[in-house]
Structure 1
Amino acid sequence: MSAVVATWTVAAPAATADDMRSRQWYLDAMKADELWKVATGKGITVAVLDTGVDSTLPELRGKVLPGRNFDTGGLGRVDEKDRDRHGTNMALAIAGTGVDGGVKGIAPGAGILPVKTGDYAFNGWKTMLQGVRYAVDNGARVINISSGGVADEAEAREWQSTVDYAVQKGALIFAASGNDGRERRNVYPASVPGVVAVGAVDTKGKVAKFSDYGSYVDFVAPGIEMPGRCPNDKNKFCGFWGTSHSAAIASGTAALIWSAHPDWTRNQVLRVMMETAGHDGPVPSKYIGYGTIRPAQVLLEGKGNPGDPNVDPLLAAQGASKAPTSKPSNASQTSPSPENTGASGNGQAKDNNQAAEPDEGGFPLWAIAASAVAVVALIGFGVVAGVRRRASTDA
């Protein structure tokens, strides 16, 4: 298998606890305080397939389930051993409580199921595939995979089989589109039918220069200036950017919507996300998919028709001949992107093909192809020009 571009996150200047909320610009943009009066994600378990989750942090205390460590065996809640903090930061973006001036997630009431699939390097796709099945078998309605790469033909088949299993069990999988700043086709698991691929937008609603794009992209969500715990030092805060965080915000958004409508299936949650996504121009677009995720449209405005509970709207839109039919999972649930369109929450992302100038209806997108920043197309999981990344070897 070829190299995996995994963390898809870049560290930025450190943030302090005192200004944490101002750093989390996307919470105000998506009307988070109003959303939390309606739903918090309570009752929904989100699995984080990553480097593990540090459950000792104040923002995650009492929210992290035992989980599983497929990298070395044992529990997935690895605490101090999550040196890179990547999995921890995804959990914070999804469900952090913000206590003691820390990071607050988009779904602060959701529970986190940590599934460690690697540390500084993957052991091939095996741990990730095992992690997906483990997550759905242990109550996760939402699965966050803020990593990805390419796979050979046999691995691609295995990925499809695993995703089909998760879909049939009623789970939603969100995956990062990648940070290579270029058009891509086969990014696993993001491009697997049944997986929801998420790209990144910045504070002005523009597609980030680093965000990979292509026909596989389904949504965009905030991925710029995302606060989290610094690598190798859990007592300090850093700013990050990357589609890793975009996928986490999308995962948290799904949990938020689902907690308000617990009887909906994955397909219904996904359908209302598609119908209420912000865009200006034809969709789906290879740059923004169906647009910027906007939970306020669902939870505050009552928009979006959940529709048929048994039809995957993305697969149906893609003309899939055999879209997997999902049923609500009977697994127990444990409770322990955002608007990105300005304070009104009514703005729209604009397709890159029409992005030469801004208009009154939304924000322009950057011409990514003309200014691509290839920051994550390297192998390894260390620090190179501030980039944290992982690599995969054949299993």
Structure 2
Amino acid sequence: MPRYLSLRRLFARWIEPPPSGVVEASNFRQGDTFSVDICIVTNCAFVGGNASTTVTELRAFTAAGLTAIIVHCPVKRSLWKRNWVAERFLPFMDKIVPADNVKYIKCQTLIARGPRMVMTPIFRNLMKRIDGERALFVVNNSAWSENGKPLFNWPALFRRVARIGVPHSNIYPISPIIREECRRVLSKSAGPDLLAPIDWPPAFKIEDFPFAPRTHLTAPVVIGRHGRDHDGKWLEDAEELRAAYPCRTDIVVKIMGGAETVKKRLGALPSNWVVEPFGTTGVGDYLSQLDVFVNFPARTRDEAFGRTIIEAVLSGLPVILPPAFEPTFGDLALYCEPHQVSGLIDRLVSDDHGRIHYINACRREAAERFGSHTLLKRLKTRDTDGTYSPTLDGGSQAFRRRMMGESAPETNVTA
């Protein structure tokens, strides 16, 4: 490396260090030519769901005896940011190679995750050096941020994928919400029909989330959620924010991941809030401290999926969400407006028998629908419509309607 470039990088690190949860890596996998079953290409600097999902897929494929690598394809143009990776990837650096180091890759299946990444010149040039038999382009975020800023262009994405030239290339939405957005936008423009018949949601290693439902809910009921702390993760309106996480003496609001945004919007944290940063405990340990999972992001945010929601379901927590999530999670959650959260929590406390039956059914459905074992099935699926929402048994549906304040016929529920 030229001396002037080394000095430039040192100066850049000093004025702009990696953000929280991201580090500068140096121990990438060595080599420039690879022959593997699965090649996952993504921007490894993305934290949160992207990192967790990519690692889960890597672990599942290798456990099944498939050879797999991850290609780190950054979206940042600054040279000193090229080696930034999310901390979640650090135990797997022997499987990660930078895009600039790739000379040639032969693979059976290419999984490219991240539409912004796919539109970069780095990715376009990388694809000239990848020979794949099949390509899956996973769209894991909306085309717009919560403030309306464009993140990518749907027609341009379809054109880019069509020009790449990999046989059997398709675009896979991460959820029904993103699929509907895609259809809505593309209905107004002509272009190649590359939309896959099934979604490609995140997969979960079920064993990472021990199922430990509360036998009884007693005061104080502990509610909360874990996630990054930024504007899009919290309701914009102060009164709605207070209502979604009620300030009551018999309720404790326990948050992991920070709540500075809440402080700004409310002036101060309510007295019943307890906030911890990430890293204080593991996700499983944190979820074991909750009675109910409550997640109300900004109304302007089109949440593509929400890994934390399935993590809560797998851990045995009833989940309360706004109705916008219903196309994705179906019967796995209870939906309401912010001002209805308090009453819904009271109804949950009053029916331990029905709640236990319901969350057992939710766990079974979530494991069957989103477990890491489904990845191998998805690789073999080409023509089946897999966009349906999770559906539970009649007793569980009746319980959901009662909890959400809807009229429902009496149904015998067996725990």
TM (norm. structure 2) is: 0.29
More helix by share: 2
Larger radius of gyration: 2
Relative contact order: is structure 1 or structure 2 higher (C-alpha 8 Å, sep ≥ 6)? Answer: 1
TM (norm. structure 1) is: 0.30
